[in-house]
Chains A and B, each alone.
Chain A
Amino acid sequence: MLEMTGISKVYRTDLIETHALRDFSLGVGDGEFVAVTGPSGSGKTTFMNVAGLLEVFDTGAYKLDGEDVSRLSDEQRSRLRNEKIGFIFQSFNLIPDLDIYDNVDVPLRYRRLDAKDRDQRIKSALEVVGLSSRMHHMPSQLSGGQQQRAAIARALAGDPRFLLADEPTGNVDSLMARQVMDLLEQINEMGTTIIMVTHDPELARRAHRNVHIVDGQISDFRPYEPRNEEIMTGIGIAPVAATMSPA
């Protein structure tokens, strides 16, 4: 599903260079649920941005669903992002002056789906997250947990191949955090690959695999421990990940 090899990303200013990712290699298989942990400034978010095609990398190779993304134009990267990736952010990132229905509609608009198809997808996604009755509420009228569920519905509506979740429970209380986690597990069980950045070791333990990043490199990883036979079927540990050595 995702295969990064020797990725480097450097942020430069006039005075300093910051190596956000150094020779970073990771493979994630179809249907995996990978937790990414690490201290602040370790490169977790840069990894997520590169993985989500929101930033370009300096060196290395990145294949997403078998497609080399390093030479894609902005138009092609945007299309890939729209069709294959769903984002879930810590601060939800709902558009404040659109109601929940219209928020979920945003990625579908860029896919140029017809109105009927969009409507079906939006309603179905909102049903999955349990927000059908709130579809015409504004984000400010919802609790933090509901907003995150709406954001998950937005990510799901496009039927993406994998979800990138950046601290999805960071802004909700522990009860809501558990609900959000349950929801992500359900989604994963339906076959969607999930990569989740988190500071919470409890949540990280619920993933199939835990990748720990320090100074832009993978310092540790917990091998894949399938939770059930169904998920295990067809999913293998990516070969690149298997060769990873701690920094």
Chain B
Amino acid sequence: MNGISQISLAELRLLAPMLVVTVTGIAVLMLEVFQRSAMSRRYQAWLSVIGLGMAGLDTLYLLARGTEAFAMSQLLYMDGFGFTLDLVVLLGGALAALIAPAYLESHRLERGEYYGLVLFSVVGMMVMNHGADLFTIFMGLELMSIPIYCLAGYFRHSSASAESSMKYFFLGAFASALFLYGIAFVYGMTGTTSLVGVSRVMFSGLGSVDVAGAEAYAASSGFVEYVGLGAEGGPLFALEFLPAMAVLLILAAMAFKVAVVPFHAWTPDVYSGAPSSVVGFMATGVKTAAFGALVRVFMVGFFDQPARLSETGWLSVFFWLALISMVLGNVVAIVQSSVKRMLAYSSIAHAGYIMVGVVGASYSPEGFLQLESVLFYLLTYTLGTVGAFGVLAWFGKRGEEATTYEDLAGVAKKYPGAALAMTIFMLSSAGIPPTAGFMGKFYVFKAAVQTGETAMIALAVVGVLASVSGVYYYLKVIMAMYMKTPRREVHGVAGLELKTALVVCAMGTLLLGILPGIGLGISRAGVLSFLGAPPQVRVELNKLRAPVEAGRAELGAPE
């Protein structure tokens, strides 16, 4: 945040997707002011989808053009990695907007703030995806989270919804405080919150400070002396401890948002209390943005060998988090009787799988490209999970939601389309070919195996075993829908919007399962254009980028 520079129009152009979404959000809120309460609000859903779609198209354009630039005084990286995550988030937001109208109408909740909150939250996620500075990431995180606290409690007449909102809020605010405290330590030690700046004054291992590097940076950036090691009066209190604390506090906040064990406890309660229409978005958008920010912070800011790889490096922390998340998420999901809670626990397991990809990719600079598996998984996860919650939103009326396995019993007879869609989503979540989920799991586990480390391979093996045990509860849903007789009448409320969303999710899930190359191609483009990557990673990326760019030149060249 040093130095004041002007914002150029070119920078503003790169922010166009975010601006479009913001303006759409404001427009929806303004329309709500002039809205007669009796009138249908379906158009607001479509307006949001159009806004998100336009932003998506522009993002796709920027991605295809290979945009790589800093924006807003180097607070944002406008690179392929961010744009790819944007695409996932925008997709999640658009699907959430499509799922909502019929659900909100049938539960008498129709008010326009819903779409405004979704849109603002999407903007927050996009800021996180592009964050180049711990503080930008933090602001994005809050911009994302606060609307979601409101959305969780959107079901005003429901005590459970209020409770879910309250729990999410308190724990989220608590995590925010931890995150801020971590940022404060980083700032104090390095004098900067910019990720690249932090990486220059790198920690060598969680326990100590790379004095030489820090001093060199301090000198080059105009500081007389490196700040950390007490300029006067000897070493600061517990300074040995500070860098480690900083990393851990930031790690805890990130882990809280992606919901890995033991920072996961809010997930089941919040997901089961919040309205079904929004849970899918909460589960996928937040996870996507949080994983994006996590990758960015740890890969750019804390990538240095000792901080990452030493016995006390963050990699081993992530390793164990991934492991226990996969195991605990799946095991506890098995004993759930509510489908919503089951999906919440399974989302913890999914966070574990994604973490496996992150761990595999950050093991060595050569493996960095494996981050594509993380992006791909997030895409498949978004399609499958938003779809699954969309199907849950299909059933229920006036505050009565279909949440348990019994509520879904025999649904297939009356609503074969919904049951088929749910089957596809469940198979995808379970990782059964030919669905997208299978390819997603395949790639993240491959990311771990390609390191060649025994521990990593063991991690992948645990992941495979855990996902096998997951098949049990996913199939239970399918079994309930097709083989059980309904205990009571099921009411389905679905509009064109919800059906559109489900068709998109189902087709996407199958398409990515059969032709994973499409999603993987975009993911790879995103990873290859990763700004702020440490030098040793950049060398590897350039090796891979060279043929791509040569190919691009060849395509563009006249015959």
A binds B: no
Residue ranges of A at the interface with B (Cβ–Cβ < 8 Å): none
Residue ranges of B at the interface with A (Cβ–Cβ < 8 Å): none
